[in-house]
Each structure stands twice: as C-alpha cells, then as structure tokens.
Structure 1
Amino acid sequence: MTDLLPVRVIAPGIVFSWLAVTLPAGGCTAEDVANSEDPIRALSASSPSTRYGESYWRQQLAQDSDVWRQAIAYCKSGDAYRDYGKHPNCTLVGELHKGDQLLRNTRNRPRDSYEYFDGSRRPHSDTVPDPNAGVRP
C-alpha cells in the first residue's frame, strides 16, 4: 500500500505537465485571436490585427457603435490600460479615442478664453498690449 502513494502523488503532476505542453500547441495563436470573429476579443491579442485595423475602428467611431464603446471600455480597463505594448490593437483604439476627444474638446471650447497647459482659463484679448505703454521718453 505504501508503494502506491508515490504514484498517486506523481501521476497528477505528470498529467498536468502533459496538458501544459500539448494544449498550447493545439490552441489559438495570438494571430488567430487578433483576427477572430469577435473584435473585442481581438483587442486582447498580443499580435496586431489585420482584420480590425484603422479603417474598421474609424468606422466604429464614426457610427459611435456599441462595439466602439465596448472597445473603449476594454482598453481603459485593467492590463490593457496599464500596458498598451502588450495590446497593440488597444493602442490603435486609444489613439483614435484621444484624437476624437481632442476634436470634441476643441469644438466645444468657448472662443472668448484660452486654455493654458496648466488647465487654467484666461480671457482672450483681441488686442496686443502696447509694450511701450506707460514708458516715458
């Protein structure tokens, strides 16, 4: 009976090792995930997608589709947000989103003020102050 104990302990380790070696070989590659039927799943891939490129995401942005909103939510969350380098498809979505936000903010900005880099707003002046004002000759 004591001879069977080591086999019971070792056998699960062997089976697990075998599964760890054989399953990835038959599983999906990063390219398969990037070009799958699901564009949101493609965002999780570590390989750039040829199926969901810039034109696809621009179209989703222009339509303000549910897929676009899901893509923004995914790319702003968790690991995808912390490391765009591991998610090249999120990099593309993020760049398009930032550009869109910049355009929206520019269009909605009041024309009577100027926003400085520190975020403060100051009145816009149409006239340039005379540098010689108040200087005696």
Structure 2
Amino acid sequence: MPRRRKDWGFCPRCGKKISWMESYTKGDRVYYVAVHYYGKDPETGKKDVKKCHLGPEEYDYVTKTHPLVLQGAIEDIKEPNARMLAYLDALIEALPYAKLDSEKALMLAARFKGIGAKLEQYAEEAKRATAESGDSTGLDRAA
C-alpha cells in the first residue's frame, strides 16, 4: 500500500503548495522551512526544489518591547489564521493597560468597527462562493 503524504497546505510566504516541511536548530531555537518539489532536473537528476524560510515559532527578541508575542509563519500552517486570531486576542487583552485618552479610544473603536464590517462582507462573499462552487472553504486557491 502506498504511503499517504501529509497535506501541508499552502506556503504563507509564496502561496505555492508545500511538498514537505523541514526544520533546523540554531542555538536554542527551531526554525522551519517549507519545501516545494518540482520533480527531478533532467540534466542533473537532482531534485528540483525551492525552499521558503518561515522562521521560528515565536520571536522573543522583538516581543520584549510590546505586549504582543509575535509568531512565525509556521503557526498558519499548523492552524490557518492562527496568528491573526492570536494577535487580535492579544490586542483586546492589552486594551485595559493602554492608557488611552478619549480621542484615541474612539479612533480605535472606529477601526475595530471597520474590521467588523470587512469581516462580515468577507463572510458573505465566502458563503456565496461556497454555495456556487460547492467548495467548503470558500477560497479560490487557483488565484
């Protein structure tokens, strides 16, 4: 029986299908690489691959100066949109400590309302696309 390959989804860096993942350790950090396989080179017989470096799971150094824990692109491969949701949750949790004046608070409220409106619009478009194509994701991966 042939071995089933894991479906890694699409690369957050270049958007191409991921053939497999690699990792390497540097110091005490593990870094991730998405590999795209294009067959064998007819001249050399070697694998024709392109590698996209996705970085570590978390970025400690840049996180020291603000309340958000920045995550590497590998998180979106493990769970689609994980970083976006984690960042939004962290922003919401940081609001009580932000010491906002009235003007800045109203400006942020307007931006969050704008985000909400865009998300509702996206949800409607995805629902329509799903109904038309039968695709459960509502995404056009061929684009």
Smaller-chain TM-score range? under 0.3
TM-score w.r.t. the length of structure 2 is 0.25
**Greater helix content:** 1
Structure whose alpha-carbon radius of gyration is higher = 1
TM-score w.r.t. the length of structure 1 is 0.25
